[in-house]
Amino acid sequence: MDSLIIRGSKPLNGTIPISGAKNSALKLMAAALLTDEPVELLNMPNLADSRFMSRLLSTLGVDVYWPQNHSVCRLNAASITSTIAPYDLVRKMRATFNVLGPLLARIGHATVSLPGGCAIGARPVNFHLDAFEKMGADIVIEQGYVKAAAIRGLKGADIELPFPSVGATEHTMLAATLAKGTTRIKNAAREPEIVDIAAMLTGMGAKIEGAGTSTITIEGVERLSGISHQVMADRIEAGTYAIAVAATGGDVFLERAPAHEMTALIEHLRAAGVTVEEVEGGIRVSRNGKRLKAVDVDVQPHPGFATDLQAQFMALMTTADGVSHFTENIFENRFMHAPELNRLGAHIDVQGNKAVVTGVGQLKGAPVMATDLRASVSLVIAGLVAQGETQVNRIYHLDRGFENLEAKLNACGADVVRESETAEAV
């Protein structure tokens, strides 16, 4: 199993190009199931998760053309040969569950395993299934599989989500594009990725209004056409590198970083004493070596502070002057990085969904273990700051969400080396 060896205390200087957004790309790939015409996705992030989604789509009959290390992915679902998404291909990544709605909308039935994914909480799919039932689907859960049927087609419905779930909003929107009549999603999530997905669907012929607001209206159409669509830049990747520069010091231009979608993070960075400038083509982040100030974080749905940046910002606050308070309102179990940060010399006390971070003078390198995608990159950030050598183990989580992480960091002066375990000679 691979690990990263980080020799810290080096400022970052240079340019980091921001890849396409993982959280958008995976749902855009699932949307290709809604049409029998070719779909081309530009600026595709070359990640373990997106490659995994392409494997699942292939088993359903989708013709996938996506050479390794290319940023253009071509999908053609002219013929759906299977409507079964098996456990082995769904348990490792939650986003694969999003093939259920498109299959149900286009074919009228699907059997999809209940999802797995990172260990950051239960993240149940009942909101998704409740929405499909309101749209006329018959749903049965047997032996870990969701069996759904809408032989006469899905019908538009008024759906009010109990919580502005991003996954349920996206999934319902995908299915509703081919439903008969009008679907209204109330208390919808407002994340930028939802706007990106709606933009692609609209380009395919869907009729969607209100994406990015708390009420989304979808008027179903009979069919969707093919499209060439550019995946939006990844605001979470951009935010992660912005935090890394804030932590280490230095001056980095984040090429293609979407400043208008990162407002909450930028405000928190500036409050901590970091210089963030919106410039043509991206964002410039710099810190001149002055100590950081402690800043409180209250995680909320967009446009609030993103849960996917909470672990990274906590790593930043470990060496700030003062005490910062974190409240995680989205997922349970999303402070699993705290004990690992403490191994590096941080002072973090966790009580339920709250954490108190008391800044220390210096972190020191040590072996640590990643528990999920965002936690793993928070340990990388801490390792970049720490004196000496930090070994981050179980980095397969990183490969799920960060494209060319060590190459991007090393190009700006970091010292990060990937090591692979080799089997002992027999």
Nearest-CA neighbor of 370 among 402, 406, 396, 409?
396
118 is an active site residue: yes
Q: At 411, phi and psi to the nearest 5?
A: -65, -15
> How far is 251 from 412, CA to CA, in rounded Å?
9
23 is in an annotated binding site: yes
Please report the pLDDT score of residue 121 as a whole number. 43
Consult the annotation and say whether 94 binds a ligand. Answer: yes
Q: How many CB atoms lie within 10 A of CB 240?
A: 28
Q: Rounded to whole angstroms, what are the CA distances from 332 to 302, 335, 336? A: 18, 8, 10
Nearest CA to 357 out of 316, 405, 411, 417 is that of: 316
What CA–CA distances, in Å, run from 199 to 23, 67, 190, 368, 383?
15, 25, 14, 41, 39
pLDDT tens readout for residues 279-331: 999 999 999 889 999 999 999 999 999 999 999 999 999 999 999 999 999 87
Q: What is the DSSP letter of 125?
A: S
> Which residues are CB-contacts of 407 (< 8 A; sequence separation ≥ 6)?
none
Along the chain (426 residues), what's the average pLDDT of each consecutive run of 10 residues?
94 98 97 98 95 95 95 97 89 83 97 68 76 97 92 96 94 98 98 98 98 98 98 98 98 98 98 98 94 97 95 98 96 87 98 97 96 90 98 91 96 96 46
DSSP state of 291: P
Place of tokens 């290709």: 32
Q: Is 190 annotated as a binding residue?
A: no
Give the residue among 95, 44, 66, 80 at the shortest CA–CA distance from 229: 44
Residues 6+ apart with CB under 8 A from 163: 127, 187
Note the pLDDT of residue 424: 42
By CB atoms closer than 10 A (0-12, 13-18, 19+), residue 191 is buried
Q: Identify which of 115, 405, 190 has the alpha carbon closest to the alpha carbon of residue 392.
A: 405
Give the separation between CA 108 and CA 426, rounded to whole angstroms: 53
**Sheet harboring 389-393: ordered strands across?**
367-369, 389-393, 3-7, 416-419
Six token digits for residue 108:
């009228």
Binding residue per annotation — 22?
yes
Q: Which of 56, 118, 242, 348 is catalytic?
A: 118
Residues contacting 336, CB < 8 A, separation 6+? 119, 120, 371, 372, 375
Q: What are phi and psi of 74, to 5 degrees?
A: -110, 130
| Structure confidence at residue 423 (pLDDT) | 40
Contact indicator for 14, 51 with CB cutoff of 8 Å: no
In sequence order, what DSSP letters do the residues of 104-115 get, joined into one string? HHHTSEEEEEPP
Helices (H) and strands (E) in the chain, counts: 14, 24
Cβ proximity of 258 and 303 under 8 Å: no
Task: Count CB atoms within 10 A of the CB of residue 189.
Answer: 22
Model confidence pLDDT, tens digit, residues 397-410:
898 889 999 999 99
Domains contained in the chain, CATH given: 3-18+233-419 (3.65.10.10), 22-230 (3.65.10.10)
Lay out the sheet containing 63-65: strands in order across.
63-65, 73-76, 38-42, 227-230
| Start-end of H helices in 118-191 | 126-134, 166-176
Residue ranges of alpha helices (H) inside 68-125 are 87-90, 100-106
Q: What token pair was written down for 62?
A: 């989708």
Query: Structure pTM?
Result: 0.94
CA nearest neighbour of 19 among 195, 194, 234: 234
Question: What gap in Å lies between CA 179 and CA 276, rounded to an integer?
Answer: 44
